[in-house]
Structure 1
Amino acid sequence: LKGRYFPRLQNHQLTVETKFDGESMSTDPVGHTSSPFFGTELAWEMDKKALHQHRMQRTPIKLQCIVEDLSIGTREVAGYIMLDLRMAQKKPQKAIWYPLLSTSGNYKKRKPELQVMMTLESEANEDNENNFTAQPLPKYLHKNQKRKHAIIINSEGFFFQIGPNKRAADHFLLSLSILYGKNLIQLIPSSARLSEKNPSVAGYYFRYYIFDNEITNMYFYDLLNPEFKPERASVRLRSNPEYLINYFSRNPAIEIDLCCGQQVLGVAQVPTQGLLQKLGSTAVDGMFHLLMPNQLTPWDSDAVAPAVSVTITLRRLSQSTETQASKSKSNEMTVDRENQGKREDGQAKEKNQPIYSIKSIEENIKTVVLDDEGQKLGEKPHSTYDISTAVNQYLDENNAKATTSVLTGSNQYQAIAARIEQGQHHYRFTIDLRTIRNLNVGFYCNCFLRYTYPYFGSSSPIITAPPIEITRNMEARLPNSHCTFNFACTPKMLRDTTTNTPLMVEVWHRDKVSNDVLMGLAQISLAEVLQCDKQKISLSTGSVGYKQSVKRTTHITSSSESKRIGNLDIILELDDLGEVLKPDTTASRSSDVPSIAANAHNQTDTYNHSDVDQFEKHYRETPQYQAALELEIWKEKQKDLFLAELKKKEEEYMRLMAQEWKQRDSEREILVRKKVDEYTKLTDKLKTSIADLEKRERQLTLGENELSRLRDEIQRELQLKLNEMNEASRRFQEDCEHRVTLERAKVLDLEEQKQKLFADLKEAENRYRERESDFDKYKNQQNSKPEAQLRADINMLTLEKVELQRKLDATIKSKQHYKEQWSEALKELARLRERERVNEKTRLQKQARELEHLRLRYLAQEEKGVMKNDKNELETLKEEIKSLATSIRQTGHKTQELSTELKEKQKKQAIAAEVNQEELEQQIARLIEERDTLMSAGAYTVDDKIIRELDKNIRDTLARQA
């Protein structure tokens, strides 16, 4: 079982389940990739009779594809297929692709398919030894070998194993490298919806799967000039050529995805058939086109087609390499980041001088050559890359970087020139969205326009701002709609891109309450500007360029319906600023010192000889000249050292190659001897088989003769049996006819008896009706007699007696119940009285204490008032005595009268005060007694109004008394 056209889903697994002949089976779960391989064979055992029965009934086999989400643990059915059992034959048939039925969700865009092969296999013990026939070996796996091709991870040896341990004894190294990509910007269509967030923030990367292991390379952020370091993924395998060829034939391609975040921008199919030609050391190398997920047709031109450079190698590891790899215990999957970083010496960092050691040069050469994993520097690299070329490239790069520290940016021009293709022009494209008019959307619109064209070098959206208010049949000018793009490309590439990719302008409505709404789209062909007349323009560099412009009106089509909703006026301008010149690399490597010398040489005509000598002396003392001289000396020394080391390495390589040749020659001799022995054994076995076949042929001839004789005897016996069966059938038919005649006579007799019985039944029913009428008359006569009336009265009275007796019993029970409740009520009343008595006694004691307290307060207040009155009267008397002191001297008689009157007045006041105090005390006691009487009756509480009024009167009386 294998599949294709499945969407890639992370943290998901696929399983195929089926039920047939009362037995359910399922495959092992595999990753949810675009081409899952289940690697499991489903088989049922049954006899020939059961198989024939299923075929006669046309029993179908239903295969269900189950998707399991590992993150939340849910399972759902992705689809199913129906298989016809009659298609299964003993001879192996070609596998057929079946599309999944009843798909939903992520599987609706492109129907996934399953490849199924159905075969019939007979058990070995069913074949008789006498029925031997020579047959070719089946190309499919037997059911007891269904797991031989499964991929097993050997954690001890750190490798993947394909096949059983006994036969998978060879070690291989599978490597995949992604080198570079081109025209990746074509994978972002201009008609796609633009997001507010720049997709370059997330970064782009390549992703692929090797043995269900996901591998990604480093991120890059520019699709126009993608820059990323080449990477290689290496996998160690343990298998043999037979199983590897079988595996790669079932997995004919490796998918490489270009992703941005979780979105797949393009997919490239890298075929693996080239790895099957020769398994010693094979490679698949080339540029492979990237297709968008929904793209069905390939790209028209290779110049604009996005592509990725991929190299896949498969080589057999030698015995020494296997031993070394097993000792190192490297991981089964390693990704080599082949960076171009240079190692500098510690002293050179202090002096800021570009000194490079031989070790760093060797390591970088090893990286450029893309040496295999686990291989030493002394081993022969398995690549066609020339070592001398790598050395020269490395020295050029180091020299250029070293010169940059002294010279004035010459290598920047060299780096730019390396990227400029032959025949590229510098273009300036201007898009001016002028006006929008006749907008008919049925509501008040606050619109703005939005578009993007990634080919011009920017994937960010261009938006007109601020939004303008526009109504129906109105023309409005768009603010901030002028945009200019500067880029470089060939004229052919510009013409192909603008022709195949139109500009899609989106018309949006901005609402303050809800989200923005897409109202319509306007499609503009940028190729129209290339068809206009060219006008010459003068450039700032003095050269001549060309300008082309066009003004046109395009229709705005509704996004939901295919109808026109408005018009858009636009102006397109294209300025050709001339061909981009490639800087001279030779001049870029030169320093500023020769230019200074040239300038000095040009001015020698105006100087005399002394000035020239002074100028040369000054020229040689300049730091630029000293730095250039030191750099040239260092370059010569490093070159000599490196060539010597390279010669030494070459001798080492030749010696190792000779040893390797001898080892390979001995291995070939051993292999040839082994093959000769196997051939001899197979020849002997073939001779034995031929002799057995001849013997078997003679036995078959004798058997055929015996079979003919037995067939004739069986035919004679069959004819005799048929004659006997015909005679017996005739006698049995006559006997049956006689029995049928007798049974028919019996049926006639039974019909006559039946009619007689029906007549007797009717007569009996008539007699029954007569007896029933007589009984009714007798019953009516009995009911009309007095005895019947009395009997009815007796029955009525009996019923009344029973009813009264029941009521009497109920009354007695109620009385008893009421007595019990009455006794309980009396007890409760006694308890309440006792409780009330205790409460009353407590309340009286409390009132007595309050009365005593009030009395003490009253006495204190009275004593205080008396003292105060006495004091006031004494003061008054003192004043009167002082006032009358003079008059006493005049007349003694008046004095005695006044003193007598004063004494009488004091006595009256004392008597009046005593009378008032007694009245107040009596009033307070009366109010307290009334309040306590009302409270003791239980009818009033402290919160009642009358009790509150009595308390208020008591307080007022006490206040007057005070």
Structure 2
Amino acid sequence: MSVKSDQLLIVVSVLEGRRFPKSPRLRLEVQASFDGEQLATDPVEHREQPQFSTELAWELDRRTLHQHRLQRTPIKLQCFSVDPGSKKRENVGYVVLDLRSVQEVRQDPRWYPLLSSKYTKQKPALLLGTTLEIDRGASGASGASPDRFKARKAPPRRGSASGPGLLPDGLQAKLVPDQGYHQVGPADVCSDMFVLSVTVAFGTKLEQLVPSTKKLASDGSGFFFFYSLLGNDITSEPFQNLLSPDFEPERASVRIRSSKQVLQAFLSQQPPLQVHLCCGSHSLGSTDVSLSSLAAASGDVDSKAATVEGAFVLQPPRSVKLPALPADLQPTVGVAITLRKEEGPPQPSEEKSRTAAEQRPRSLSPPPPPPHTESEAESLLEELHAERTGASDEELPAPPLHQPEGGASSISVSAPKVSIPSSAHHYCFSLDLRSLGKLRLPQPIAATLRYSYPFFGSAAPIMTNPPVELQRNMEASLPQSFCAFDFAALPHQLQDTFLRVPLEVELWHRGATSRDQLIGRASILLSHLLSSNRTRTVGSTGEQSWKQTHQDQVPVVHPQQASEKVAELSYVATLEDLGFIRTKQVVVSDSSQGKLPAGPQPPPSTRHTPEYRAALELELWKEEQEDLFDHQLRRKELRHMQALAKEWRRRDGEREALVRKKELEFSLLEEKLQKTLSELEKREKHLAEAELQTQRLQRELRAEHDLAQKELQEASRRLQRESDHRVALERDKVRLMEEERARLLQQIADGEARFKQLEKEFQIYREQQNLRPEIGLQAELNLLTLEKVELERKLESSTKSKLHYKQQWGRALKELARFKQREQENAAARLKKQQAELEAMRLRYLATEEKEAVRQDRRELDDIRNELNRLKKQEDQLGPAPSDPAPSDPAPSESAEEHLSRLLEERDTLLRTGVYSHEDRIIAELNRQIQDALRDRDL
């Protein structure tokens, strides 16, 4: 019997890339990080299709893997471009892998596009493969291969599985959807049917899993227990109080088709069953229940059931540090795991589930029973038992009201007891989510709808599957979105719940490589269903029922901004009232169900007699009268129950008011306590900061002192080394100088001796030469040669001087030509200037002449004016003669007009010359005279 190792390897295969730009000077590298640990591939060439061919692996156990899957810890792969010369790294893009998609069965590699890629035009991608392998090195097997990355699942072996040596190592439970069970082992050998049940019964001291600094409250979803049975996630009914957890024990069962020994081997290979206490999406603690103990206890499973049960201690997550607790304060959960052999051959399921909204199994429980007394419940159970034992063999018990959701599952969850009053009605509610449309988001989403309504008997969420792609301003139909609920309730409870509690539908975006994102919520008012038209329907057995249908479209609003509409949901809701609950439709427990008869018995011949028919009619009339009487009794019971419910609600309101008052007092005390704790924490924080500051200063002073001491020691050693080096250099210099001095003294002595020898030889040679006659001629020849050389030098000097003077003369001629041209240009400029000055002088002279003429005219005008004034005075003194005609002055008027025209023309002429401006004195004087002339003319 092979034991499955608890140590695993998460292996990520980085195979190759595509659509990368070619860059010969760079390299590509992929770095993967998971749970704070980083692994990297070797750098490869930066080309269009880089070949990495590298496997990266992380070691962990199954419990840690399960916690990471609950927390949705990602595996992030970052691609870098590396420059080998400068060692510069630049992020090219990244890929995020979902740990939940990593399975033990090797899957084909997939192409993952780089997110936030630097190369936006090429859209590069990486070919990645993920698998979960058993760590052979950790299992301790002697025959394990040293290459731990090449683990493979062993194929199942054909033949008999009677011997332990023939059992396969890689047993797996394969679901058979149409039969409703899991197959473990070869189907031709393993044909026995077993039932594996898990029951979560109770929880104690659960508040110890929550730190004292946090409030003991949930986010509205409550607390619940969670575990995974053969890959199926099971959740218990939620409860709100950890101090006194109140929830009904639930049993989850799964049918397994296998043989005894193969099933024992399979359970031995399975990891421990982890039961988590959850709040929302967070795990507060978990415990392990070994399935190997169940396998060891299942040796006599053919005759009796094997059970592993007890109170298991819940351990907090590794990230939460809680103080050690004594044994009587440790949080525990009561779990029982039972394996029994199912009697009879496996039968296919007679009734398929009416919901296809969710393919995975979910935990179901009966709806909360209406308030009733304990005596009524006992009498009801006795009545049901009496009627069930007295029923004829021809009546087959109807299926229970609550079937497991998802036809492709073999798991069932049941509560140990159900108490339903006789006045309750059997209802069937169905919801068909038709389509989604009018999406107002810029990007498409993978839409999944999720909802739950605990009144129908289950608080587990119902989700549409698979996700559908919904694009902007388009409508998409939702496959497998029809769900039906069978439940029992009182009519007034149904109306009150439908009027008060709407059905909330959540729209989620389920990304392939990212976490699920809540897009919006839609509220379906079930009160519209109550106000719709009722139609009467007749079933196949002749039973009459009432049916109400409502079809509508509701907006899907943003989860934070209720006024913002993100999409629109179309649905059809149907409510069917099937009448009162029949006793034959209630199944209290598994043990109370009778076995089904193999087939109908042939009727006796006496049933065809008239006496029998008369007796049968009498019995039918009695049954009808009994039904009528029962109906009247139920109506009376309903009235009494309504009165009791009203009184119950009143007392419940009083209790709630008292509880709210106590909660307010406790909250005030808690606030005071929190305030005191916060002040203490602040003081402790300040003290810790001051202590850290003091320690930091001490460390800095100690470091400065050590550094100064080290610097002084280093300076002293450096000076000592320098002085020693200088002394050694000076000694070497002195030694070399002494050697050089001795060598030079020796050379001087040798040179003096040689000089004396040469001087003696030269004296002898000169005496010998003086005696020869060629000496004189040689002297004259030498003298003539020197004269010749001197003459040649003078000739050469004269030639050079002549050439130099010639060059200087040429330069002087060129300079003279430039001077002459410059003088001509200057003369032309002076001529232009003189002409301009002459023109200006001419204009000035003309202006002066004009001015003199104006002055002369003005003097004449003044003389005329004076003469006129004098004549006017004389006429005024003498008076006009009667016979003289009236004087006329056309001539003075004409002279004034001419004078004014002359002044204007003179002023304009001076201004046109450009010599004068309006600011000159002569122009100002002309303007004044013009003004005077204008005034005189007006007069």
TM-score (norm 2): 0.32
Is the helix fraction higher in 1 or 2? 1
Compute the TM-score of the two structures, normalised by the length of structure 1: 0.32
Task: Identify which of structures 1 and 2 has the higher relative contact order when contacts are C-alpha pairs closer than 8 Å and 6+ apart.
Answer: 2
